[in-house]
A and B are shown apart, each in its own frame.
Chain A
Amino acid sequence: MKKRLWRIIIGGLIFVSALIIKPNIEWIQPAMFAVGYLVVGGDVVLRAVKNIAHGKVFDENFLMGIATIGAFCIGKFPEGVEVMLFYQIGELFQSYAVDKSRKSIASLMDIRPDYANVKKGEELVRTDPDEVNIGDVIVIKAGERIPLDSKVIEGNSMIDTSALTGESVPREVDAGCELLSGCININGVITAEVTKQFGESTVSKILDLVENASSKKSDSEKFITKFAKYYTPIVVIIALILAVLPPLVFSGATFSDWLFRALTFLVVSCPCALVISIPLSFFGGIGGASRSGILVKGSNYLEALAQTEIVVFDKTGTLTKGVFNVQEIHAEGISKEELLELTAYAESYSNHPISLSLKRAYGKEIDNERISNVEEISGHGVSAIVSGKRVFAGNIKLMKKMDIPCYEGDLTGTVVHTAVDDHYAGYIVIADEIKEDAAQAIRELKAAGIRQIVMLTGDNKSVGEKVAKELRLDKVYAELLPADKVEKLEELFSEKSTKGKLAFVGDGINDAPVLARADIGIAMGGLGSDAAIEAADIVIMTDEPSKIATAMKISQKTLSIAHQNIAFAIGIKVIVLLLSAFGFASMQAAIFADVGVTILAVLNAFRALSVKNC
């Protein structure tokens, strides 16, 4: 690049001095132009000749060579040099811009660990992460990147996961915790046992995914590839016709004038602006998204996301936390604490999520001495003797069966009624909690132009409807079996327009068929879950549904940048082609339409990398 810069400066000086000095010996000025030309553009001509020898004709070098040598031939020396000069300056800027964006993409993906400190006896050996085996013990010091997925044996520390999740709040880890490669150890020293080979570790998987995402091309990219294939030959053919036909047909037309117009055509004939900037926009969008903890598996999915009309959510684990908690305790005749204690004891033999949440809410150790005669009443609940009292705990059917009058009003969630010594003692409501950012996610999706937001759930109707009402969802289908979910999805497909897309958001655990059937399958909570990463097209690394709105904004921004670039580049090129066909455009305008447009388009594409405003 430096060499190129010097050549441009020296060649430029020769060119300018030739213009200023105006030597009185006739041949000196053209000779100076020729020298300047060779200094500036000799390499272009050389490459053109080489390429022709290889049987490759229509490349940039050839076009620029022909255009400038052509200008020389018809006596337009300054134009010839000028075009080459501008072209080289443009190329310089262009490779600078490309270099810059390559670097910022590389820094986006700079989560690859360079080494691992492997413990060998008492010694620590710096090793390439690739050469570390499962079971090896590694030491991660403060400030170092976790090299491989591993499990903490000793030490505790705060871990910065932001490179993987976009989440800035550090996580605390101590012995027994899983460590994910790519995260940074903030303060303590941790000793850990490696659980996965480097190639299988989270960091490799993420990098692999992001780097290969560009192989799944978006429609915009496919259009550009096709466009480029036809554009250059067509422009060159028109240039040829322009040079030959008018001088033959029109009496007043001079050959050199039309040749000059044809040469201008050739300068504009490279589709580079488009070919660079469109994939760059998508790449930037995907890179930026991965920085915020959103993995997009292909440009096509990023593009589809912007066209989404219907978003279908799974309930449990997606909009709700998937953890059942005691929400309400209503005691009659005894204290709340007593009710919870007796119910927790009665249910203590079961491992059902409901029993577990009761035990969690009770919070104390269960003393097995206090409980006897536990009897499960299938489909109803349980009966047991707790501290000498006969306790029934179960659903409304159990109370009816035992002829105990109980509260029968509307309650959402799973309700456990309890009776003590045949007297109704009250009920406990257990329900899943809605995620903190779920409402915000739905609001933002609506604002981003989603027409319909639907929730599918296997849970009962009243629970489903309560969540839907609270989150202001458009539709909810409850009490669905896994197979019904695919069927409902099929129904929803008919409600979108032909170009619109349908996205399904699930936790990736048992909704693989639905994820696959949707236009875009989005899995949540991907960090550490291989299943979710495998099944989905887009993976949200954290548990936050609001990231879907972020992904959508990134997608819309990326797409609008890509479209701006397509319109801008093709527009300018066509205008300059028309102007030059009628003799209104100078060579300089043509150079701008080639290199200038490329630079501007690359700079515009650059914006896709930043996701701050999303």
Chain B
Amino acid sequence: MKNTFKLEGLDCANCAAKMEAAIKKLDGVSSATVNFMTTKMVIEAEDDKMSRILEAAERIIKKIEPDVRLKKA
């Protein structure tokens, strides 16, 4: 399953790279990209683990850049 989000307020390219790296490491994630220029995040993961992964991803994002708001795209 593939989920796409818009990261509003994404302000730092290095942070985007860090988010991507951290989310990729989550259990069950097959691919993750955080695109700084389009401010889009795409997570591809196993269906049954998705909701848990999304929660974890949101925590990671908030930790790296607290001002970012996640919006389903």
Contacts and interface: CB of A to CB of B under 8 A. Distances in A.
Interface of A: 47, 50-51, 54-56, 59-60, 95, 98, 101-102, 105-106, 211-212, 214-215, 225, 228, 270-272, 275-276, 279-280, 283
Contacts, number: 49
Contact of A211 (B11, B38, B63): B38
Contacts of A56: 63-64
Interface in B21-66: 31, 33, 35-40, 42, 63-64, 66
Interface residues of B, number: 18
Nearest to B38: A211
8 contacts: A54-B63, A101-B37, A102-B37, A215-B31, A271-B14, A272-B13, A272-B14, A279-B36
Given A56-B64, A102-B37, A275 B13 contact: yes
In terms of DSSP, what is the predominant structure of the interface of chain B?
A: mixed
Contact of A95 (B11, B33, B35, B63): B11
Interface of B: 11-15, 17, 31, 33, 35-40, 42, 63-64, 66
B39 to A, nearest CB: 7
Contacts of A272: 12-14
Nearest to A224: B17
A105 B37 contact: yes
Contacts of B66: 47, 50-51
B39 A228 contact: no
A368 B11 CA distance: 74
A283 B11 contact: no
**Max count, chain B CB within 10 A of own CB: residue among A270, A276, A280:** A276
Contacts of B35: 211, 214-215
B37 A214 contact: yes
A199 to B, nearest CB: 11
A102 B38 contact: yes
Given A225-B17, A272-B13, A276-B13, A215 B63 contact: no
A279 B14 contact: no
B63 to A, nearest CB: 5
Contacts of B39: 102
B14 A214 contact: no
A276 B63 contact: no
Contacts of B42: 212, 215
Contacts of B31: 215
A336 to B, nearest CB: 61
A228 B11 contact: no
